[in-house]
Amino acid sequence: MSAAAQIGDLSFFHPGASLPALDHVSLMVPADESTALLGPSGAGKTTLLALLDGRLRGWRGRVSVLGAPLDPDHPPARASRPDVGFIFQEFALVERSSVLRNVLNGRLGRMSPLRAVVGSPAPRDLEAARAAIADCGIADLAERRVDSLSGGQRQRVAIARCLAQEPRLILADEPTTALDVTIQGQIIAEMQKLVAETGAAMIWVSHDLAVVETIADKIAVMYAGRIVEYGRSGDVIGQPAHPYARGLLDSIPSRTTPGQHLNQIPGMAPSVLHLPPGCAFQPRCRFADAACAVPPPIVDTGEDRWARCVRPLAPEAAL
């Protein structure tokens, strides 16, 4: 079974303009696999997750999730989408409620503190919530209030809340950003276990290449609302074909070259209000020429991988 998220063109309404937030984005995430969205701020990563989660309004376009089309005027309520689970970058927990109550909120689709669980839950829901808490290694904290927990414990609560939904598609928005390295490693291990044991598909947003390399089976590199490179994690990180992806790799400090200046990508990512014609990366790309003034084609660069570039880079190319 596969989980699909497919988008044609997504725009937001803006006075005097229609902003192209996402442009011809299509992802097919197989069960038991994780796909990472990698890119700069403003690339559209979190916008994509909010859209798939049914929280995004004021858009127009063509979108389907798990084979079902989304209606921009009537996005599905969270309670009616138990097949899609979300793990937020910020914990977004009900601070004064217990761990168990928070996980029950997720189980019943009540993610807002204003819609907390009232009364006695059904035995099946209670059993699923306790099982999710145990799977995340925090069974002894079930009755503790969330505001008494550490950062790592709170993130486990967020994961348990998602797990209790029994989702087919998990959306994770940089859930380890605020954690120290030790806790970060533990959370990544929990997420990998979750995907392997439940057969769910996962889309993981990050700007951290080290995290992405650890957790992702596939990588989709995003820039200015488009996926500009896609492929297996080892291929994209080992031999990036798009100049932007290559620039990201070349800007990482290396233990083998201490004291050397870091390479930088010149300029800044463009605003969707002022996208350049053709390839959005061309003003920052040292390889750009007149051919880049038209929308770039999608070029196959290997088995199950491609880049949106007129001339994808050879493995030895560097910025």
Q: List the one residue out of 35, 15, 14 whose CA is nearest residue 25.
A: 35
What per-residue confidence (pLDDT) applies to 149?
Answer: 92
Residue 31's SS3 state is coil
Q: pLDDT tens digits, residue range 234-274?
A: 999 999 999 999 988 888 776 666 667 777 888 888 887 78
Helix (H) or strand (E) holding 137: none
Q: How many angstroms separate the CA atoms of 111 and 115, rounded?
A: 7
Q: How many angstroms separate the CA atoms of 310 and 56, rounded?
A: 33
Q: What are the tokens at 263?
A: 């390479």
Tell me, what amino acid is at 55? R
What per-residue confidence (pLDDT) applies to 307?
Answer: 95
Q: pLDDT tens digits, residue range 175-215?
A: 877 677 777 787 788 788 878 888 888 999 887 787 888 88
What per-residue confidence (pLDDT) applies to 6?
Answer: 59
Q: How many angstroms separate the CA atoms of 190 and 203, rounded?
A: 15
- Spell out the residues 6+ positions from residue 172 whose beta carbon is closer than 8 angstroms to its own: 86, 87, 191, 202, 203, 204, 205
What per-residue confidence (pLDDT) applies to 2?
Answer: 46
Q: How many angstroms separate the CA atoms of 46 and 172, rounded?
A: 9
Model confidence at 1: pLDDT above 70: no
Q: Give the E-state strand segments of the chain in sequence order.
A: 2-7, 9-14, 17-23, 26-30, 34-38, 59-60, 63-65, 68-69, 84-87, 169-173, 201-206, 218-223, 226-232, 298-302, 305-308
Q: pLDDT tens digits, residue range 84-96?
A: 888 876 667 888 8
Q: pLDDT tens digits, residue range 26-38?
A: 778 888 889 999 9
What per-residue confidence (pLDDT) applies to 145?
Answer: 94
Q: How many angstroms separate the CA atoms of 53 and 38, rounded?
A: 19
Reported as a pLDDT band with limits 50, 70 and 90, residue 129 is very high
What per-residue confidence (pLDDT) applies to 231?
Answer: 94
- What's the longest Cα–Cα distance across the chain? 66
Q: What are the tokens at 120?
A: 């006695």
Q: pLDDT tens digits, residue range 149-178?
A: 988 888 889 888 888 888 888 888 888 776
Domains in the chain, ordered, with CATH?
2-216 (3.40.50.300), 222-253+262-308 (no CATH)
What per-residue confidence (pLDDT) applies to 79?
Answer: 52
What per-residue confidence (pLDDT) applies to 3?
Answer: 47
Model confidence at 46: pLDDT above 90: no
What per-residue confidence (pLDDT) applies to 188?
Answer: 84
Which range, 13-17, 46-50, 122-126, 220-224, has the best average confidence (pLDDT)? 220-224
Q: pLDDT tens digits, residue range 74-126?
A: 766 555 566 888 887 666 788 888 999 899 888 776 554 444 555 677 888 89
Q: How many angstroms separate the CA atoms of 266 and 106, rounded?
A: 43
Reported as a pLDDT band with limits 50, 70 and 90, residue 10 is low
Reported as a pLDDT band with limits 50, 70 and 90, residue 141 is very high
What per-residue confidence (pLDDT) applies to 16?
Answer: 62
